[in-house]
Amino acid sequence: MSAIPRQLADLIDSCSGYWKGSMHHILNNRGRLCLIVLVCSLMSVPATADEQARADKPAAAGKYPAFGLTEPQATLKHGAKVYETYCAGCHGPKGDGQGPAARFLDPKPRDFRTGQFRFSSRPSGELPTDEDLMRTIKEGLHGTSMPAWNLLPEQDRKAVIEHLKTFAPEVWSNAAPAAVTVVAEDPFYGLDRSEAIARGEKAYHGLAQCYSCHPVYVAPAALNEARASYGMPPLASVRPDPRRSKSTTNESGDALLPPDFTWNKLKRGEDLRELYLTVANGIGGAAMPTWKGILSEEDLWGMAYYIQDLASRRPKLVTENDLKDRSHMIEAAEAERLAYEKAESERQKAEAEAARTAQENAQPAVTVPATA
């Protein structure tokens, strides 16, 4: 109980029975639900069109003209409002990742003051493009508490991106950002996927040595074979438990476990192009190196296919059998509904019929006057 801020606790206490118990459970153990409660409690009515139009008029220079951030004041003002409403609960009013919900969250919300971002179309260590941020905000980060803000109007998302930059103006004012990584044409497009997957498996366990952080997915002999195909000497052993990732720390010194692709969700999703970009660019703040220009395009694309294949082996929460069971249940429920409707319409018909007969019987018999 003491782990939950008062405001939240009051909110939960206002819920009844089951919800109250389970919310405390979830909050204390996973910290997940607090985001929903917090986000809901933080939501307020967005700026009206009128307010927006008024604010857009004077296109005065932005908050940090000295840093070259010259977004119109109105956009920044609107962005600040969007941020306060939807993002500050986790990322903190000051952008330091220390919002009231942050203590319950793992991984922690990004500290925007550092200017460090993970998911980008530029090499790791460089700033993401506005489009990259747009995608992250729209789609969220899978398997983390960062929600998908796809229902937020586009102009709100654009404005909030400009607001994020004001937390690290020195970083964002860099006039010459690095070029975006060119996504080469997929050499395996339209071919048998197994060829790409085999290529990726070899590169992953060979030259790229992804297993130095992520798990090894092949037997020791196959690992050394993959190494030999790149002219690398055999390894006697990798680490005591090579089937598990090797724990590392992020830029803030918090523990960060590289994902096991057959188990963990991928934050950026499983789209081949995004996987290509992750492998080619590496991940800033996570020490994952950049491979573009070092590995061949076949190897980069092959690894995207390979990771996607590993991810497809992740245990599914809903199995084929569950689906079969569910379809039986749906069929049974439908049959029940039809039977009920039929019985009900028959009952109504019988009732109407009974009412009609009763009315007929109640009417006094028409007496024909007797003729004299």
Binding-site ranges for ligand HEC (CB under 6 A): 35, 39, 86-87, 89-91, 101, 105, 107, 109-110, 117-119, 128, 133, 136-137, 141, 144-147, 149, 160, 204, 208, 210, 212-214, 248, 256, 258-259, 266-268, 275, 278-279, 283, 286-289, 291, 303, 307
Q: Which residue has the tokens 């747009």?
A: 134
Angle at 130 between CA 128 and CA 135, to 5 degrees: 85
Residue 83 near residue 163 (C-beta atoms within 8 A): yes
Q: State the amino acid at position 243 in one-letter form.
A: R
Q: Which is nearer to ligand HEC, 117 or 217 (CB)?
A: 117
| Residue 184 beta carbon to ligand HEC: minimum distance, rounded to whole angstroms | 16
% helix, strand, coil for the chain, step of 5:
50, 5, 50
| Residue 152 beta carbon to ligand HEC: minimum distance, rounded to whole angstroms | 6
The DSSP symbol for 177 reads P
What is the rounded distance in angstroms from the CA atom of residue 199 to the CA atom of residue 191? 13
| Residue 243 beta carbon to ligand HEC: minimum distance, rounded to whole angstroms | 16
Contacts of 85 (CB under 8 A, 6+ apart): 42, 43, 44, 46
Q: Which is nearer to ligand HEC, 44 or 363 (CB)?
A: 44
Q: Which is nearer to ligand HEC, 62 or 89 (CB)?
A: 89
Contacts of 315 (CB under 8 A, 6+ apart): 263
Q: Which is nearer to ligand HEC, 302 or 353 (CB)?
A: 302
Q: Which is nearer to ligand HEC, 24 or 135 (CB)?
A: 135
Instruction: Report whether the peptide linkage leading into residue 234 is cis, meaning its omega lies within 30 degrees of zero.
Output: no
Q: Could you tell me where the DSSP H helices lie in the chain?
A: 6-13, 17-29, 33-42, 49-56, 73-82, 88-91, 130-139, 154-165, 169-172, 193-205, 220-228, 272-281, 297-311, 320-362
| Residue 69 beta carbon to ligand HEC: minimum distance, rounded to whole angstroms | 17
Q: Which is nearer to ligand HEC, 248 or 345 (CB)?
A: 248
Q: Which is nearer to ligand HEC, 55 or 286 (CB)?
A: 286
Residue 215 near residue 260 (C-beta atoms within 8 A): yes
What is the rounded distance in angstroms from the CA atom of residue 117 to the CA atom of residue 277? 14
| Residue 185 beta carbon to ligand HEC: minimum distance, rounded to whole angstroms | 20
Q: What are phi and psi of 69, to 5 degrees?
A: -90, 100
Residue 11 near residue 41 (C-beta atoms within 8 A): yes
| Residue 206 beta carbon to ligand HEC: minimum distance, rounded to whole angstroms | 10
Q: Which is nearer to ligand HEC, 150 or 348 (CB)?
A: 150
CA end-to-end span of the chain: 99
Q: State the amino acid at position 16 in one-letter form.
A: S
Q: Which is nearer to ligand HEC, 65 or 153 (CB)?
A: 153
Q: Which is nearer to ligand HEC, 9 or 257 (CB)?
A: 257
Ramachandran area for residue 123 (φ above 0: left; ψ -120 to 50: alpha; else beta):
beta
| Residue 53 beta carbon to ligand HEC: minimum distance, rounded to whole angstroms | 22
Angle at 145 between CA 141 and CA 146, to 5 degrees: 45
Contacts of 77 (CB under 8 A, 6+ apart): 55
| Residue 255 beta carbon to ligand HEC: minimum distance, rounded to whole angstroms | 10
| Residue 57 beta carbon to ligand HEC: minimum distance, rounded to whole angstroms | 25
| Residue 167 beta carbon to ligand HEC: minimum distance, rounded to whole angstroms | 11
